[in-house]
Amino acid sequence: MALNKRVEVEVVETNKQIILDMGKRNDGENFDVYIDEEYLLTATTSKKGEIKIKKGIELSDMILDSVDAGAVISAIKK
């Protein structure tokens, strides 16, 4: 993934968390995450290339509500 290129992120919902999957090739990388064009957060991916967010907090609720409303979750590698 090239620097400063915005890509759509796969959002996976489990029982306990929301997973933003950036792909295994992006393990340990920093990303800025956006809902449509609005900045949401900066996070570092896991060894599997995932950003995990606990369900039941405001951040995860925002992501789920946005996805349900048809918004695009995207990320830019820093």
For 18-64, write each residue's pLDDT tens digit. 999 999 999 999 999 999 999 999 999 999 999 999 999 999 999 99
Look up residue 13 and give its two tokens.
């919902």
Q: How many domains does the chain have?
A: 1
Angle at 60 between CA 52 and CA 39, to 5 degrees: 90
For 46-56, write each residue's pLDDT tens digit. 999 999 999 99
11 occurs within a structural domain: yes
50 occurs within a structural domain: yes
1 occurs within a structural domain: no
| Structural domain for 48, as ranges | 6-77
10 occurs within a structural domain: yes
